[in-house]
A = this chain, B = another copy of it.
Amino acid sequence: MSGGPIHDERGALIALAHAIEPGDARIGALIDTWGAEQVCERLRAGQIGVREQSSMQVRLARVDVDAAVASAHAVGARIIDRTDREWPTQLDDLGATRPLVVWALGAANLRLTALRSIAVVGARAATAYGEAICRDWCSELAEHSFTVVSGGAYGIDAAAHRATLSAGGMTICVLASGVDTPYPRAHDALIARIADEGLVISESPLGQEVRRQRFLTRNRLIAALTRATLVVEAAVRSGTTSTANAAMALNRPVLAVPGPVTSVMSGGCHKLIRDTDALLASRIEDVLEVIGELGEFSAPAQQRRSIDDLTPSQARILDAIPARGSIGINDLVIDSGFSAADVSGALAVLMLRGFTDEGPGGWRLAGRA
Nearest-Cβ distance from residue A364 to partner chain B, whole angstroms:
15
Q: Which positions 214-267 of chain A face chain B at CB distance < 8 Å?
A: 216, 236-239, 241-242, 245, 257-262, 266-267
Interface centre among A238, A257, A270, A336 (most CB of B within 10 A): A270
A302 and B271 form a contact (CB under 8 A): yes
User: How many residues of A sit at the interface, in one of the four size bands?
Assistant: 35 or more
B259 pairs with A260, CB closer than 8 A: yes
A302/B236 contact (C-beta < 8 A), A52-B338, A270-B282, A280-B274 known: yes
Residues of B within 8 A of A216 (CB): 307-308, 315
Of A51, A274, A282, A302, which is in contact with the most chain B CB atoms at under 10 Å from its CB? A282
A54 near B: Cβ within 8 Å? yes
Chain B proximity mask over A262-291: 1 for CB below 8 Å, otherwise 0: 100011001101100001111100100000
Q: Are A21 and B316 in contact (CB-based, < 8 A)?
A: yes
**Bound: A312/B308 CA distance, A:** 53
Cross-chain contact B319 with A213 (CB below 8 angstroms): yes
**Inter-chain contacts of A279 with B (CB < 8 A):** 274
Is the beta-carbon distance between B237 and A302 smaller than 8 angstroms? yes
Q: Is the CB of B237 within 8 A of A303?
A: yes
Q: A318 an interface residue at 8 Å Cβ cutoff?
A: yes
Q: Is there an interface contact between B337 and A211, defined as CB atoms closer than 8 Å?
A: no
Name the B residues within 8 Å of A286 (CB-CB): 274
How many angstroms from the CA of A52 to the CA of B334 in the assembled complex?
10
Contact B241 A308 (CB under 8 A): yes
A49-87 interface bits toward B, Cβ cutoff 8 Å, 1 = contact, 0 = none: 001111110000000000000000000000000000000
Q: Is the CB of B51 within 8 A of A213?
A: no
Shortest distance from the beta carbon of A184 to any chain B beta carbon, whole Å: 14
CA distance A134 to B176 in the complex (A): 43
Query: CB of A297 within 8 A of chain B?
Result: no
Q: How far is the CB of A322 from chain B (nearest CB, A)?
A: 12
- Given A261-B257, A282-B274, A338-B51: A242 and B308 within 8 A (CB)? yes
A179 contacts chain B at the CB level, 8 A cutoff? no
Q: Are B280 and A280 in contact (CB under 8 A)?
A: yes
- Say whether A261 contacts B273, CB under 8 Å: no
Partner of A283, one of B212, B260, B261, B281: B261
A213 contact from B261, B282, B316, B338, Cβ within 8 A: B316
Which of A242, A286, A315: most chain B CB closer than 10 A? Answer: A315
A305 is an interface residue with CB less than 8 A from chain B: yes
How far is A212 from B318 in the complex, measured between Cα atoms in Å?
A: 8
Contact of A306 among B54, B213, B237 (CB under 8 A): B237
Check if A298 is an interface residue, CB within 8 A of chain B.
no
Q: Is A339 an interface residue (CB 8 A)?
A: yes
Does A159 lie at the interface of the complex (its beta carbon under 8 Å from any beta carbon of B)? Answer: no
Say whether A16 faces chain B, with CB atoms less than 8 Å apart. no
Q: With A55-B337, A129-B262 given, can you name 20 additional A-B contacts, CB distance below 8 Å? A: A21-B316, A51-B338, A52-B336, A52-B338, A133-B261, A211-B319, A212-B315, A213-B312, A216-B307, A237-B302, A237-B306, A238-B306, A239-B307, A257-B261, A258-B259, A258-B261, A259-B260, A270-B282, A273-B273, A273-B280
Q: What would be 5 A-B contacts, judged by CB atoms less than 8 Å apart?
A: A51-B337, A212-B318, A258-B258, A258-B266, A266-B282
